[in-house]
């Protein structure tokens, strides 16, 4: 099918609720990825090398004369505008006119000698202000290569072998002597870092390690591990966390796609798909999709097709259960399908993340300027492999399409969470989760209990979990909310096996409320996004959309939760993220993108058909009690606690 791409937008009156929170301190550029975009100017860029973190690692910002060394403590520096800024521990800071950052040992200043360990190339226009990367990103930036590839493997082993302090297992401490020895005699110690045979690589570097150890007044270097799997394990774990987070995916919202096939029944229809669903002002309807450290992708969105603003169809869609990104950050077995009973959307997804962004290299027929990849990586526009370009193919709301796809990072997790905190979190589980909703006048009073901390839970400014009023009726009580299929509680567990690809992942049990015990009754639905050792707590991000084809395998399909678990409390309650929310005890918020949507469609469809000269029924035609219920089942407070329902930690236990 052929499409005409025009620089217009289709206004879609979409229903939804966005009550989620950013679980990170990452920031994104002012312009979303995609052709037809007018980017804002770049700012200074922080780059964090993880897997593990490294102190006293040299770096230079390409295109500038900046040469610095990373530190295990926060440092003060000056940004491009002359403002004093804090450079977080283990981060490199590059000014906004630099093209990238190169990591090294030795001395890259003036006539110094250094060995490059690889570099990160920044996008020309749409750079993020923070990047978390591993050695797998350093060889062929902006592409990530396999960890087992010789250069990635060797650089990981070399960096970890340069550690002089075994008392700091969480990071590598490179002594000054490493840089001095290499700078003073590079011809003697310069060796290849891409040697194919690992044993040969170790032997080649023996003399350098001997020379450095001879300069040390105390201690000695750890040395290159004889087993390459030891350093690789740390990189692979960091690969998972540095690629995880919230991402948004879109096609045809800034560049609207119009069906131009005259033989199609949908000729001249305008089509679009976005995860999460978005309005034409780019406002998100719901939380962005979630990519877990194990590569699993989950998310909900909206696909639409229409001839005009008043004549269109839309479907709620989600990623299929098999959708994942591999270690090279390429989509594998990826698809998006309708999750409505009568839906007709089934799309294959392809593409590859290049420094957190999926590019489509597409320019519409009447477009001007450059494609998205040409805008950011001018030298890659003609060489980007077709399988690496973002694309959707298949059926969208009943007709065949082939559409460009863009994707971008919205929120990133901590690159290296604290293992002890994750272990403690796993030991505190399994956890019971119950979603609470506002009680309405139509509810049975026996099911309702007073909302705790009503001043903050029902705040006038919208920062609470409930509105102060629903249809001018005060909200003072809450009750458990069952999902669309009738489940009201569910069980979660945290994977703490550091050798597992699922490390840090949160598993959900089946919809009957039992706990996950095996692969047959466990579904990955989230992960530990941040550990806070000072407060002995951990942030968790959850999105209950493990299988679009079977939305009833776990409870509360379509619900997102982002919260902070208090491990100093034996019952491990969950609060909103952010220090202020945690300190005052504001419970975590849940937001549902599935149940209210489906329920609204069913209730509207059940209304008496309008007269032929009247507009179609909408949510405003529903009875007041149904409108109130739709509001109540859209968001509320989370009860999260250790143990079983009815146990000592259950807030609703007798």
pLDDT digits (tens, 9 = 90+) for 595-643: 999 999 999 999 999 888 888 888 999 999 999 999 999 999 999 999 9
Closest alpha carbon to 477 in 465, 461, 493: 465
232 and 249 assigned to the same domain: no
The pLDDT score that the predictor gives to residue 364 is 67
Asked which of 240, 257, 291 is the last residue of a domain, the reply is 240
DSSP annotation of 620 reads G
Closest alpha carbon to 324 in 420, 389, 244, 211: 244
136 and 222 assigned to the same domain: yes
Query: 276 and 300 in contact (C-beta within 8 Å)?
Result: yes
Query: 309 and 11 in contact (C-beta within 8 Å)?
Result: yes
pLDDT digits (tens, 9 = 90+) for 274-308: 999 876 666 777 789 999 999 999 999 999 888 77
161 and 95 assigned to the same domain: yes
pLDDT digits (tens, 9 = 90+) for 210-230: 999 999 998 899 999 999 999
Residue at 271 is within a domain = yes
The pLDDT score that the predictor gives to residue 262 is 53
Query: 107 and 113 in contact (C-beta within 8 Å)?
Result: yes
The pLDDT score that the predictor gives to residue 385 is 92
Residue at 306 is within a domain = yes
Residue at 59 is within a domain = yes
The pLDDT score that the predictor gives to residue 126 is 80
Query: 160 and 154 in contact (C-beta within 8 Å)?
Result: no
Question: DSSP characters for 595-641?
Answer: HHHHHHHHHHHHSPPPPTTSPPP-GGGS-HHHHHHHHHTTEEEEEEE
59 and 140 assigned to the same domain: yes
- C-alpha angle 457-461-463 in degrees, rounded to nearest 5: 45
pLDDT digits (tens, 9 = 90+) for 363-381: 766 566 788 898 899 888 7
Asked which of 240, 266, 297 is the last residue of a domain, the reply is 240
Residue at 35 is within a domain = no
Query: How buried is residue 443: exposed, middle or buried, by Cβ count under 10 Å (0-12/13-18/19+)?
Result: middle
Residue at 37 is within a domain = no
316 and 187 assigned to the same domain: no
* Overall domain count for the chain: 3
Residue at 215 is within a domain = yes
Question: Structure tokens of 426?
Answer: 């796993």
**89: helix, coil or strand?**
coil
d(CA 191, CA 455): 65
The pLDDT score that the predictor gives to residue 387 is 93
β-partners of residue 277 are 285
Closest alpha carbon to 559 in 571, 551, 549, 569: 551
Low-confidence stretches of the chain (pLDDT < 70) are 1-43, 253-256, 258-268, 279-282, 309-310, 364-368
374 and 443 assigned to the same domain: no
309 and 335 assigned to the same domain: yes
pLDDT digits (tens, 9 = 90+) for 114-165: 999 999 999 988 888 999 999 999 999 999 999 999 999 999 999 999 999 9
Query: 344 and 337 in contact (C-beta within 8 Å)?
Result: no
Asked which of 411, 441, 467 is the last residue of a domain, the reply is 411
The pLDDT score that the predictor gives to residue 478 is 97
637 and 517 assigned to the same domain: yes
581 and 614 assigned to the same domain: yes
249 and 235 assigned to the same domain: no
**What is the residue range of 166's domain?**
45-240
First to last CA, the chain: 62
319 and 463 assigned to the same domain: no
């Amino acid at each position: 099918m052929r499409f005409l791409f025009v620089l217009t937008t289709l206004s879609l009156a979409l229903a939804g609720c966005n009550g989620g929170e950013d679980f990170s301190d990452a920031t994104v550029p002012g312009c979303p990825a995609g052709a037809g975009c007018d980017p804002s100017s770049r700012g200074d860029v922080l780059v964090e090398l993880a897997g593990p973190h490294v102190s006293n690692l040299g770096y230079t910002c390409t295109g500038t004369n900046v040469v610095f060394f990373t530190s295990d403590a926060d440092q003060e520096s000056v940004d491009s505008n002359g403002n004093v800024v804090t450079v977080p521990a283990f981060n490199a800071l590059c000014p906004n006119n630099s093209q990238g950052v190169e990591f090294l040992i030795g001395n890259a200043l003036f006539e110094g000698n250094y060995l490059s360990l690889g570099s990160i190339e920044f996008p020309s226009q749409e750079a993020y202000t923070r990047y978390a990367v591993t050695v797998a990103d350093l060889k062929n930036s902006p592409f990530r290569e396999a960890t087992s590839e010789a250069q990635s493997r060797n650089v990981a082993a070399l960096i970890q072998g340069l550690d002089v302090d075994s008392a700091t297992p969480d990071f590598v401490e490179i002594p000054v002597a490493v840089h001095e020895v290499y700078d003073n005699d590079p011809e003697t110690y310069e060796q290849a870092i891409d040697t194919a045979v690992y044993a040969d690589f170790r032997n080649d570097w023996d003399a350098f390690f001997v020379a450095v150890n001879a300069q040390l007044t105390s201690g000695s270097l750890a040395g290159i591990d004889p087993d390459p799997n030891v350093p690789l394990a740390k990189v692979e774990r960091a690969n998972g966390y540095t690629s995880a987070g919230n991402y948004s995916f879109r096609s045809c919202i800034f560049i609207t796609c119009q069906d131009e096939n005259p033989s199609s029944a949908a000729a001249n229809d305008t089509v679009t798909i976005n995860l999460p669903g978005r309005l034409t002002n780019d406002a998100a309807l719901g939380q962005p999709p979630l990519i877990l450290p194990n590569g699993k992708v989950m998310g909900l969105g909206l696909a639409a097709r229409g001839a005009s603003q008043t004549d269109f169809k839309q479907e709620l869609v989600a990623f299929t259960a098999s959708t994942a990104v591999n270690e090279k950050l390429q989509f594998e077995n990826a698809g998006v399908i309708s999750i409505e009973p009568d839906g007709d959307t089934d799309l294959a997804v392809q593409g590859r993340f290049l420094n957190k962004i999926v590019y489509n290299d597409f320019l519409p027929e009447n477009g001007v300027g450059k494609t998205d990849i040409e805008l950011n990586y001018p030298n890659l526009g003609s060489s980007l492999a077709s399988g690496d370009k973002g694309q959707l193919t298949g059926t969208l709301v009943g007709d065949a399409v082939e559409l460009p796809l863009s994707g971008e990072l919205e929120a990133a997790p901590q690159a290296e969470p604290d293992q002890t905190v994750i272990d403690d979190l796993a030991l505190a589980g399994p956890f019971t989760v119950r979603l609470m909703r506002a009680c309405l006048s139509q509810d049975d009073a026996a099911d309702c209990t007073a909302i705790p901390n009503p001043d903050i839970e029902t705040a006038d400014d919208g920062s609470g979990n409930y509105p102060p009023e629903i249809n001018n009726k005060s909200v003072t009580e809450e009750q458990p909310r069952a999902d669309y299929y009738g489940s009201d509680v569910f069980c979660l567990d945290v994977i703490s096996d550091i050798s597992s690809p699922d490390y840090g992942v949160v598993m959900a049990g089946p919809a009957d409320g039992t706990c996950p015990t095996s692969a047959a009754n466990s579904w990955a639905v989230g992960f530990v996004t941040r550990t806070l050792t000072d407060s002995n707590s951990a942030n968790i991000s959850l999105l209950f959309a493990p299988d679009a084809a079977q939305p009833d395998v776990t409870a509360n399909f379509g619900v997102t939760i982002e919260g902070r678990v208090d491990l100093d409390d034996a019952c491990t309650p969950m609060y909103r993220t952010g220090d202020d929310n945690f300190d005052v005890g504001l419970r975590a918020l849940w937001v549902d993108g599935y149940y209210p949507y489906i329920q609204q469609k069913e209730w509207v469809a059940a209304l008496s058909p309008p007269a032929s000269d009247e507009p179609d029924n909408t949510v405003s035609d529903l009875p007041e009690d149904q409108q109130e219920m739709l509001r109540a089942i859209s968001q509320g407070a989370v009860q999260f606690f250790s143990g079983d329902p009815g146990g000592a930690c259950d807030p609703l236990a007798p």
